[in-house]
Amino acid sequence: MQPPGTPPVLHIVGRKRAGKTELMIRLIRSLSAQGYRVAGVRHSPHNHLLDAEGSDTAAYKKAGAIGAALITASETNLFYPASGWDEKFLPVRHTFNHCHLILVEGGIKEGKEKIELIPPGESPLLTGDCNLRAVVSTHDAAPGLPRFDPADLDRLSTFIEARYIRAAISGAIMAGGRSSRLGVNKAFLKFHDRPAVELVLEKVSALVSPVVIITNSPAEFRHLNIPAAPDIRPGCGPLSGIHAALSLSATEYVLVVSCDLPLLTPQILRALLSAYPGYDITLYKHALFEPLCAVYRRTCLPALEELIDHGEYRIIDLFPELSVNVIRTDQKEAFQSINTPEDYQRLKEKYGRD
């Protein structure tokens, strides 16, 4: 497994001239077209001309520089002396921290998570390798492992998305409010005969998994067949719910959405999911911030607990301590919530029109 808080790393391996570069290109195109940021890394056991003897960068290191870089009109090449694979890969992880996935071509010995490309008539290189996760082959070359036909890129992309990208993020529906001004639990207010919480749950579940409901009355949500859990540090408003969602999550990131946002669209949620990697908090802002339609990272927990310990319950007070990605939007209406009977009536009318 990759270290916590870094993009997942997947190696595409195989024999020479097996077609690894072509497969890398096709996968990068496919995943990028879905809005994911993918970094491509080429692993080679040989030295290359960019840092060859006689080059300026090689001369810098020979003179005693701890490393060197070549900055061109369009890119940066980093020459970072390192011995083991983990040390070599460290600057790659740092540079591509805001990616959803790092795809590495090659690295049979170094790679942890690998997919092997096996040409027709060839035997696999990695028989018995405990880090081999799947094969791309026209024939059953590795019984017991998922096999993908080279021509069926969609199935392979879906496998990679589910196992390496979507597995990094889960969802949490905030339904812990008392709804004191409404007199009823706003999670169950209906729009076209469907409770608000079901509408939100449907949109979130289509994009991330698993999803949990954070509520101080779990029994009320049992009929949804979704795990429900109470606040761990109750009495702190939405901060309590976010704290519980992150504390209970098995994933590094959590998509947090309030149960009373029926006008949210899948497009709004997808934009969050294309922007969260590498940040502690990713959220929208129009005139106001929208912290209950946001992605939080487990790295927020120490700052969250410090606020709670000091009786400070404003989510915005987290921002100075953390890395925050703010997405500007003019779609204010999509974030309308239900706090009063008037809010409910207005949203019912709006939901009916659209």
From CA 285, how far away is CA 268, in angstroms rounded?
A: 12
293 and 326 belong to one structural domain = yes
Q: Which two tokens stand for residue 238?
A: 């939405």
β-bridge partners, 10: 103
Q: What is the pLDDT of residue 183?
A: 64
| Helices 266-273/196-205 angle, 10° precision | 40
In the block, which residue shows the tokens 């300026």? 56
Question: Is residue 100 included in any domain, yes or no?
Answer: yes
**Per-residue pLDDT reduced to its tens digit, 21-48:** 999 999 999 999 999 999 999 987 766 6
The conformation of residue 2, written as its DSSP 8-state character, comes to P
The conformation of residue 165, written as its DSSP 8-state character, comes to I
User: Which amino acid is it at 175?
Assistant: A
Task: Please give the distance of CA 24 from its chain centroid, rounded to a whole number.
Answer: 20
| Helices 20-33/153-160 angle, 10° precision | 70
311 and 189 belong to one structural domain = yes
Question: Is residue 163 included in any domain, yes or no?
Answer: no
Q: What is the pLDDT of residue 49?
A: 63
112 and 222 belong to one structural domain = no
Structural domain containing residue 218: 169-353
Pick the last residue of a domain from 151, 177, 199: 151
122 and 179 belong to one structural domain = no
Question: Is residue 334 included in any domain, yes or no?
Answer: yes
Q: What is the pLDDT of residue 1?
A: 43
Q: What is the pLDDT of residue 242?
A: 97
pTM score, whole prediction: 0.84
Question: Is residue 158 included in any domain, yes or no?
Answer: no
Number of domains in the chain: 2
CA-closest candidate to residue 236, choices 318, 293, 299 = 318
CA-closest candidate to residue 352, choices 193, 200, 183 = 193
pLDDT in tens, the chain (354 residues): 445 557 899 999 999 999 999 999 999 999 999 999 999 999 877 666 666 777 888 888 889 898 888 898 998 888 877 888 888 888 898 899 999 999 999 988 887 899 999 999 888 888 888 999 999 999 887 888 999 999 999 999 999 999 999 889 999 999 976 666 666 788 999 988 899 999 999 999 999 999 999 999 999 999 999 999 999 999 999 999 999 999 999 999 999 999 999 999 999 999 999 999 999 999 999 999 999 999 999 999 999 999 999 999 999 999 998 999 999 999 998 999 888 888 888 888 887 655
345 and 270 belong to one structural domain = yes
**CB-CB neighbours of 56 under 10 Å:** 9
**Per-residue pLDDT reduced to its tens digit, 74-97:** 988 888 778 888 888 888 988 999
Q: What is the pLDDT of residue 181?
A: 62
191 and 274 belong to one structural domain = yes
β-bridge partners, 194: 191
Q: What is the pLDDT of residue 219?
A: 92
Q: What is the CATH number of the domain that holds 336?
A: 3.90.550.10
Question: Is residue 56 included in any domain, yes or no?
Answer: no
Pick the last residue of a domain from 116, 151, 186: 151
Q: What is the pLDDT of residue 316?
A: 93
